[in-house]
Amino acid sequence: MAVDENLKNHADERRRFRRRMVMAAAGVVLLFVALIARLIDLQVVHYDRYSAAAQDNRTRIQAIPPVRGLIYGRDHTVLADNRPSYSLDVVPARVHDMPTMLNRLARIVPITRAQRRRFARRAASAPSYRAVPLIAGLDKRSLARFEVRRNQFPGVKVQAGLTRAYPLGKKAAHVVGYVSGITASDLRRVDDRRYRKSTNIGKSGVEYSYESRLHGYPGSRVVEVTAVGRPLRQLERHPPLAGDDIYLTLNAALQRTAYQALGSKAGAVVALDPKTGGVLAMVSKPSFKPGLFVNGISPSAYHRLLSNPRHPLYNRAIQGEYPPGSTIKPVMAIAGMEAGNIDPQKKVWCPGYITLPGSSYHYRGWKRSGQGWLNLTQAITRSADVYFYKLGLKTGIDNLHRYAAMFGLGHDTGIDLARENAGLMPSRAWKHSVDHRPWYPGQTLNTVIGQGHVTATPLQLAQMTSLIAEHGHGFKPHLLKAWRSSGTGRMHRYKPRPLPPIRLKNSRHWGIVTRAMRDVVSNPHGTAYWYVGQNLEHPIAGKSGTAQVAGLPQHAAAPNEMSVQRPVRPHALFIAFSPVRNPQIAVAVVVDHGGGGSSVAGPIARHVIDHYLDRTRNQPQASASAKT
């Protein structure tokens, strides 16, 4: 034991102990310094960064969609409205057995398979605590049936909101357009930041053209949420800015009249104000119900519209390209007189046909027996094809094309609607670009009477008529009249854009053509006298057109238009303006495969003109009565 006592070194052990204590203390100090440094980094150096991150974990910024602007007619009739609507929403987290609940609910409220599929897709991509729409646009009867039993369906609730409505329905569907669900392609053409939480976007018509004004700007709210994102309370709110209200040149009463005047016929009616270029009416038939698209059209309903052989989605007023037939003869007459090749007073023999040198082919007029000796006025009044065949050959295709272009044929009008077609006014250059062949005289004969390759839209014909009525002065066709800024409440007026004036070498040529068009309606020899010119309330200048869509054998007699099967029946056309001395309205009517222009399209044009001028004449009296 004594040896062991002597071997033990207490001093060395104390030194080692003290060394260990110092090292431990130093470690503690270093750890404390590191902790202090980290606290300084978190609380001082990077305070803003980590504070914002913590705040983001506690709050969410949610977008508030704006209220869409309204669309009004020129008389302040509402054309596109926002109406209260109800949707049936489901919170999946509160539903224990979704298939069973949907089956029970379907016994009370009709649920289509398309709605079920849409709901399943939305529910799969959304948090379970968030309400998912099941049925949009819930009708009042279904709403009442559900409200009585709502306690039987936990997790199902009625959500109030606004939906787009179109009071004129089919009557203005093509021009006003419609809104529908936003797609990825839609977001590529707009600023997607303005569409957070929005569900619809303009798809056609004015709704499409003025989407940027109608949509508005979203607002936002700051919401406190739980750790899993469930909203607790609203902390801040920044209201959205509603879209601007749009006022159109469209006359709602005239739009209804034009729609009804077409009856069951397919076709188009366009009425312009010659003084401003404003569209007074624009009808295309058959039409469709724009409300079908607002809450999502079913695949079967959309397929029916697409497969309908009468093409109800097709806007014939700006997309339909028709042979204009004899409606362009007034413009061809101006071209002939201005080129210096036609004396309007000189009479020309019209035997019912014409042949070209070196050919025995008969280019026939609509009246096979011929019309005798006619001057230019009589040729327009009676729509003498043979006279215009001879005028075309003397004038030449280059002059015919040049003057037709001045009146807007062969290029789009630039109206504030999308997908307008330009029609076609053929020329030598066009012919060479198509088949690398020269222009033939026979093609000139077809062109001068509005047949062959010539096509025009009803809007182009209305613009052409307006320019004739105003002796070469006119404005670019437009629908926008004004808009009210939702931010300031200020009304802004659209300034019509003048077209390049058509300056004739001899201004008297305007009067010659205008008087001839008046004779078409008021002279007993005029093609429209017996159908349009009886008991006129307002002086009308017009021109009929019967555009063939199928040829006849060389020596076959011309059949009655209405006895021909519809697919090969001619199109019926009529252009007109009134009053003759101070034009207030210019109209173009096209009836698909309607037959005779004077007998079918003419009465429609007169009905539209009479309605508009009667109401215009009575408006001052009505205003005076209201004041007294």
- Catalytic residues, which ones? 326
DSSP 200-225: EEE-SHHHHHTHHHHH-B-EEEEEEE
Helix, strand, coil shares of the chain, percent, nearest 5, are 45, 20, 35
CB atoms within 10 A of CB 509: 20
For residue 525, what are the contacts with CB-CB under 8 A and spacing of at least 6?
Answer: 378, 381, 382, 519
Rounded-to-integer distance, Cα 517 and Cα 525, Å: 12
3-state SS, residue 364: strand
For residue 315, what are the contacts with CB-CB under 8 A and spacing of at least 6?
Answer: 174, 175, 284, 417, 419
Tokens coding 146? 């559900």
Beta bridge partners of 77: none
- Check if the beta carbon of residue 211 is closer than 8 Å to that of residue 201: yes
Number of H helices, E strands in the chain: 24, 21
For residue 57, what are the contacts with CB-CB under 8 A and spacing of at least 6?
Answer: 227
The separation between the first and the last C-alpha atoms of the chain, rounded to the nearest angstrom, is 137
- Check if the beta carbon of residue 205 is closer than 8 Å to that of residue 219: no
Which residue has 């054998």 as its token pair? 553
CA dihedral sign, ordered 228, 229, 230, 235: positive
For residue 306, what are the contacts with CB-CB under 8 A and spacing of at least 6?
Answer: 313
Pairing of strands 71-72, 245-248: parallel
Beta bridge partners of 267: 285, 591
For residue 173, what are the contacts with CB-CB under 8 A and spacing of at least 6?
Answer: 166, 205, 287, 288, 289, 290
| Listed residue (428, 448, 450) closest to 437, CA to CA | 428
Angle CA(230)–CA(234)–CA(235) in degrees, nearest 5? Answer: 120
Specify the length of the chain in residues: 628
| Listed residue (231, 87, 246, 210) closest to 156, CA to CA | 87
Three-class secondary structure assignment of 417-458: CCCCCCCECCCHHHHHHHHCCCCCHHHHHHHHCCCCCCEECH
